[in-house]
A and B are shown apart, each in its own frame.
Chain A
Amino acid sequence: AQTVTQSQPEMSVQEAETVTLSCTYDTSESNYYLFWYKQPPSRQMILVIRQEAYKQQNATENRFSVNFQKAAKSFSLKISDSQLGDTAMYFCAFSGSQGNLIFGKGTKLSVKP
């Protein structure tokens, strides 16, 4: 069975600085997708970034980028130039052949002014 582990329950960062959230996963599948979702206090689940396992190039979306290490089964999220609006829970998620999302427990990120 697939599992997703986020080892940092909480993190904080100063506004305008860079922070990296960690995620590891376990799977025997070779084709899969990895995601980072953001959940602000409004509780809406918002897709931040997506990575296809067969692509070696790391995904980027503006200030958000990932470090995808397939052999190590690691998928970290880097947020550059942190903004107050980045304060939220961040969930790492895996999607394989079954199609559903398997989530980590989340990391609560606080951006401080």
Chain B
Amino acid sequence: DAGVIQSPRHEVTEMGQEVTLRCKPISGHNSLFWYRQTMMRGLELLIYFNNNVPIDDSGMPEDRFSAKMPNASFSTLKIQPSEPRDSAVYFCASRGPTIAKNIQYFGAGTRLSVL
């Protein structure tokens, strides 16, 4: 099992540019989560999907952020336009359908730097 795959590992961009982060969940998992980690706010949920449908996007900071899950094996998080305060590590996590386990598996994260 390859685990949750995120790309890119690092992204450096200039303020105002569009940034797209990508995530491939573990095969067979039906829930996908996007988290952001900063020194000030720690780890916080941005959005999560169940069976490709967004369930809770209350953590998305503002309209500049959008997330999609066009199929069970791919999700994107887009920031347009990016700002320096978006600099953070962005994690994707997936969870299988067996509720009893309720374990989320994390990708390696994308470190985003907006200059």
Interface set of A (CB-CB < 8 Å, partner B): 33, 35, 37, 42-47, 50, 91, 95, 98-106
Binds A, one of B11-19, B64-72, B74-82, B99-107: B99-107
Q: Are B102 and A100 in contact (CB under 8 A)?
A: no
Closest to A42 in B: B108
Chain B residue total in the interface (Cβ 8 A):
23
**Contacts across chains A and B counted by CB atoms under 8 Å:** 47
The smallest C-beta distance from B25 to any residue of chain A, in angstroms, reads 14
Q: Are A101 and B89 in contact (CB under 8 A)?
A: no
Q: Are B33 and A100 in contact (CB under 8 A)?
A: yes
Contacts of A46 in B (CB 8 A): 106
- In angstroms, Cα B31 to Cα A28, docked, is 24
Interface set of B (CB-CB < 8 Å, partner A): 31, 33, 35, 42-45, 48, 50, 55-56, 89, 91, 93, 95, 102-106, 108-109, 111
Q: Are A43 and B33 in contact (CB under 8 A)?
A: no
